[in-house]
Amino acid sequence: MLADIMVYVALYIIWIMLFYHVFLMQGGYLYAMNYHKDEEKWVKNILFYPSVTILIPAHNEELVIADTLDAMTNLTYPVSMLQIIVINDNSSDRTGDIVEAYSRRYPYIHVIHTKPPNGGKGKSAALNNGLKHATGEVICVYDADNRPEPDAVYWLVQGIVNDPQAGAVVGKFRVLNANKNLLTRLINIETLTFQWLAQAGRWFWFRLATVPGTNFAIRKSILESLGGWDEKALSEDTELSFRLYNLGYHIRFFPSAITWEQEPESLKVWWRQRTRWARGNLYVITKFLLGFFKLKRKKIGIDLVYFLFTYGLFFGGVLLSHAIFILNLFVDLQLTIGFVSYLLLITGFLLFVTEELLALSFEKGQLTKRNFLVVVFMYFTYSQMWLFLVIHAVFLEAKRVLFRQEVKWYKTKRFATDQQLKQDKTA
């Protein structure tokens, strides 16, 4: 009887989250069908071009930084209103030399070299160092492995200019190395689903979105009033989002602003990167949940509950259901809901596949037979890996708090592109 109750509790938790995702995906679909109307309206109503500073934190990025800066020099935003600052954060490779060469060719590209004790502390600290030198009215942030499309910054800034309540505007990111291997294909599907479900869906229904780590614009005045980025946060983007909400602004998702970024090509790098993300989000949940009643804007609770459900109840429910069914293979728990529970699990699998395929349908060339097979594989492998990852992250965060350990930043490893590998072979 107790086992039956526990199974029902686990399934109800899972289904609450699944139905919420279905609700978000409906919003994502409706937004995908209509956001181009804003493009047309903004193009006809160009008010002005505010000055823009692009911050690019870079630590040992010699494999990718040249491609990123090439993309920056191809931006359509007026060069006279553009300042690009690369924060060469305690690099031990050729990152600084490469950026210096670009700064000599392009007057609007600048480099800041940081060394300990001020440098080498992680992305948030690097961004805060860059912010001190920023002259733009609008701050854009890009990771050092990004290749924004020429009009990406233009659309981000248009969102700021045409929406006074938008404290920040976030764009869409695509996976540059999506076809490298099975892992990058899985990540590609994951990122597209997140953007069209979580970002577009929350924006359509609640006027909420999360600032990502890259490809976003924010008013400099807001950053200054907030005191910059939280240097204790491993997911500085999520943490910044909640503080921005609390000022009464919304975060606008606008998918016309597109950047292409490199994703992990090995499981080890993926695990370390995603562990940092999970630990960072746990820090944010704890920080704002404990101080919830002090927050001015209680609407933040919608997103706080979403993160709490995702990292707590949802993963807990999935873990509980898995544990009971596995245990029942070896010990007779006298479960009496067998058929119903299996029916719910099958339906949940079909909902998962439907949501992923719908997200893929929004992107040209992504809804293919191969990706359909990857989605099915994803449910039984990649999605299940997140269970172990979150458990690992919870353990690490609990140990950090209990033993008052210092937060250590993990910088995602970059990989040489196919073109670079060919050049190395011919050299």
What's the pLDDT tens digit per position in 374-401? 999 999 999 889 888 988 999 999 999 9
Distances 205 to 65, 253, 287, 298 between C-alpha atoms, Å? 37, 12, 25, 16
What's the pLDDT tens digit per position in 209-263? 999 999 999 999 999 999 999 999 999 999 999 999 999 999 999 999 999 999 9
Q: How far apart are CA 291 and CA 278, in angstroms?
A: 20
What's the pLDDT tens digit per position in 141-151? 999 999 999 99
Q: How far apart are CA 129 and CA 55, in angstroms?
A: 10
Residue pair 244/166 in contact (Cβ under 8 Å)? The answer is no
Query: What is the mean predicted confidence (pLDDT) over 200-213?
Result: 95
pLDDT surpassing 70 at residue 422: no
Q: Which long-range contacts (CB under 8 A, 24 or more apart) does 100-107 make?
A: 102/66, 102/69, 102/73, 106/73
For CA atoms 223, 226, 229, 233, give the dihedral sign. negative
Torsion of CA 403, 406, 407, 413, to 10 degrees: -110
What's the pLDDT tens digit per position in 15-73? 788 888 899 999 999 999 999 999 999 988 777 899 999 999 999 999 999 999 999 99
pLDDT score recorded for residue 151: 97
Residue pair 195/26 in contact (Cβ under 8 Å)? The answer is no
For the chain, give every domain's residue range.
45-265
What percent of the chain is modeled with pLDDT above 90?
A: 70
Q: How far apart are CA 91 and CA 114, in angstroms?
A: 8
pLDDT score recorded for residue 229: 97
Mean pLDDT of the chain: 91
pLDDT surpassing 70 at residue 107: yes
Q: How far apart are CA 43 and CA 169, in angstroms?
A: 17
Label residue 407 exposed, middle or buried (CB < 10 Å: 0-12, 13-18, 19+).
Answer: middle
Domain 45-265 class? alpha beta
Q: How far apart are CA 327 and CA 360, in angstroms?
A: 36
Q: In terms of pTM, does the model score above 0.85?
A: yes
pLDDT score recorded for residue 277: 94
pLDDT surpassing 80 at residue 5: no
Residue 55, beta-bridge partner list:
85, 141
pLDDT score recorded for residue 418: 67
Sheet of strand 109-114: strand arrangement: 109-114, 82-89, 52-58, 138-141, 216-219, 166-175, 250-261, 146-148
Least confidently predicted of 290-294, 361-365, 393-397: 290-294
pLDDT score recorded for residue 9: 77
Least confidently predicted of 159-173, 298-312, 324-338, 382-396: 324-338
Residue pair 259/147 in contact (Cβ under 8 Å)? The answer is yes
Encode 25-35: b = buried (16+ Cβ within 10 Å), e = exposed: bebbbebbeeb
Residue pair 7/337 in contact (Cβ under 8 Å)? The answer is yes
